[in-house]
A = this chain, B = another copy of it.
Amino acid sequence: MNKLGIAEMIRKLAALKADKLYLNDFLLTWDKSDDEINATYLVADILRGLRVNNISSKIFESGLGISIFRDNSTRTRFSFASACNLLGLEMQDLDEGKSQIAHGETVRETANMISFMAEIIGIRDDMFIGKGHTYMLEVSEAVKQGHLAGVLEQRPTLVNLQCDIDHPTQTMADSLHLINEFGGIDKLRGKKIAMTWAYSPSYGKPLSVPQGVVGLMTRFGMDVVLAHPKGYEIMPEVEEVALKNVAHTGGSFTKTNNMAEAFKEADIVYPKSWASFAAMEKRTKLYEQNDRDGIAALEKELLQQNAEHKDWECTEQLMASTKEGKALYLHCLPADITGVSCKQGEVAASVFDRYRDPLYKEASYKPYIIAAMMFLSRIKHPADTLMELLEKRTKRVIE
């Protein structure tokens, strides 16, 4: 991408109505308008374009990006750190300890105490159904009030780095990958994408990816098929989002309990394990009651339940049934690869291996998507500022 191409994208951005992103959180993709989603893709591509052309996109001389991870997370941490760094923020990690989930007053106080110089707070809290999104709302409210009360000079905005409901930075990266692979957002219209469950020998994987995919990809006029064994249903609220989307955009959203049916003639496949919503709700309650025996029993039960569906694997045979046998394979990584990372898993080794480079490319959009979300929430006139950066041409690396 050259500088003319970047300028062209900035002009496209200027034509979109995305000013509500400014000083707002990015928690769920379906809270955002089409223009706002498109603006985020554009800014991500523009920031990448600037970087490729060795043009600095540092917009902060100082300021912190706070990360709060309820779970270990090397990859998300590095994506968030990269995005912060690209824009000039320094990442500071709040390590609250994994076991305790802070509530009420503690959240309110801590959120303010760490935010005196925070521009952005990135939170990953995906473990417990009914908790993650709620926690983010609590933090957001706390810093909003702190700003109104004159405690915080600025109101930090939140980026959802994965919650119990949605995983916007992942699915936006996934879809930006699709946009660039297929040659434009309009080229996605009429394409079939199979978001399917796949077997994994592990337990309790979050639902935020399938839910996020179904809630986002139904915007683009695609035929979105959600496939899973019985018992692995996703949240009904998200299915409603999907149905509302297709009513508006003209694609389709269908469900099946048959993996082969989902793969048939698909342009894109996204086979990935997740826990059932009902099981995750049960687990959350057991954790609340600190019922260790109950948790162990549930884990055993769920692993057995998983094991009944070992045939849900993305095999070469299934791949051959996709459009011209060449569907684009997606995964949020890391995948459970049969014979590589586990005895039997989500995907055959030969399939995974063939798609390694596109998979890594898919992942590479994430820091830019996060940076775009940050940019649009902190900069009032994003097109003007990006044009300024482009024209100023401050070198990212002195040559």
Q: Shortest Cβ distance from A225 into chain B, in angstroms?
A: 28
Instruction: Output the least CB separation between A142 and chain B (Å).
Output: 10
Least CB separation from A388: chain B residue: B398
Q: How far is the CB of A5 from chain B (nearest CB, A)?
A: 15
- Is there a chain B Cβ closer than 8 Å to A79's Cβ? yes
Q: Within 8 Å of chain B (Cβ to Cβ): is A60?
A: yes
Is the Cβ of B149 less than 8 Å from the Cβ of A396?
Answer: no
Interchain CB contact under 8 A, B64 and A364:
no
Q: Measured between C-beta atoms, what is the minimum distance from A54 to chain B in Å?
A: 9
Q: Which residues of B contact A381 (CB under 8 A)?
A: 399
User: How far is B360's CA from A146's CA once the two chains are assembled, in angstroms?
Assistant: 8
Contacts of A360 in B (CB 8 A): 109, 112-113, 146, 149, 151
Asked whether A62 is an interface residue with its Cβ less than 8 Å from the other chain, the reply is: yes
Q: Is the CB of B394 within 8 A of A61?
A: yes
CA distance A214 to B380 in the complex (A): 47
Instruction: List chain B residues, Cβ under 8 A from A380.
Output: 399
**A105 interface neighbour in B153, B341, B396, Cβ under 8 Å:** B341
In the bound complex, CA of A58 to CA of B341 (Å) = 42
Residues of B within 8 A of A361 (CB): 149-151
Provide the residues of chain B in CB contact with A333, threshold 8 Å.
Answer: 109, 113
Of the listed stretches A28-36, A85-93, A164-172, A301-309, chain B binds A85-93
In the bound complex, do residue B64 and residue A56 qualify as a contact, i.e. CB atoms below 8 Å apart? Answer: no
Are B385 and A79 closer than 8 Å at their CB atoms?
Answer: no
Residue A241 CB within 8 A of the other chain: no
Contacts A360-B149, A399-B385 given; does A117 touch B61 at CB 8 Å: no
Q: A149-B361, A341-B105 are in contact. Are A82 and B117 (CB under 8 A)?
A: yes
User: Contact string, A67-84, partner B, CB cutoff 8 A, digits 1/0?
Assistant: 000000011011101100
- Report if A116 contacts B (CB, 8 A): yes
Report A148 CB to chain B, min CB distance, Å: 9
> A148-181 CB contact bits vs B (8 Å, 1 = yes)?
0111110000000000000000000000000000
Contacting residues, chain B, for A293 (C-beta < 8 A): none
Q: Does A52 contact B (CB under 8 A)?
A: yes
A367 close to B116 (CB less than 8 A):
yes
Q: Is the CB of A334 within 8 A of B62?
A: no
By a CB distance below 8 angstroms, the chain B residues around A396 are: 60-63
Instruction: Say yes or no for A324: interface residue by CB 8 A criterion.
Output: no
Most chain B beta-carbon contacts within 10 A, residue among A56, A75, A81, A113 = A113
The reply on A357 being an interface residue by CB < 8 A is: yes
The answer to whether A88 and B62 touch (CB under 8 A), given A357-B149, A361-B150, A364-B116, is yes
